[in-house]
Chains A and B, each alone.
Chain A
């Protein structure tokens, strides 16, 4: 079945450092790929998405490129801020029998120190 693997956290960085959170996936067909962010005590917020190979999703300084050849969708940001501290989830959505079944990774916690 479909699956998403994220790097284990927590990832601890100083403010203004470069961020990479790795995400690889296994899926049949051509899934759409997503990054969600979850702040403490809240639900998930969509951060960015890409729907086909070589698409780059971007939002709030975060970027991720859909790499079909490596089945990856790594999240990057050039300069993190304390306010970026949260849990980040990589997810895919693939068509299955006429419905769209989403699959999430386990999440990677990011802690940014001043």
Chain B
């Protein structure tokens, strides 16, 4: 148990729809990162939020967006869903102070299927 929770656990959407995934960070953590893990692949970094500001982004289009709230929970929003967006979406929380980032702790993921 890492203390990181995600919801929902599974989700089915159709092409063109929009989806919001949620993540609750481990207590005391101020940084959250989101990853996309396609079947049989390693996680791909989407973006990271530190104290409610985006702080680093991977090679994903603008239709992938996020938010971090004052309690450090987070949302990942994906607009105009495409079939290739089908994947396991992982969030990971960590603590970063004075420029040093501690180890990331992952949630169990949300499995998204786009039809």
Contact = CB atoms under 8 A, between A and B. Distances in A.
Interface of A: 4, 34, 36, 42-46, 49, 89, 91, 93, 96-107
Interface of B: 2, 4, 33, 35, 40-45, 48, 50, 55-56, 58, 90, 92, 96, 101, 103-109
Nearest to B110: A43
Given A99-B55, A99-B56, A104 B101 contact: no
Contacts of A49: 103
Contacts of B55: 98-99
Interface of A is mostly: strand
A106 B42 contact: yes
13 contacts: A42-B108, A44-B106, A45-B2, A45-B106, A46-B105, A89-B42, A99-B48, A99-B50, A100-B96, A101-B56, A104-B35, A104-B45, A105-B42
A96 B56 CA distance: 8
Contacts of B42: 4, 89, 91, 104-107
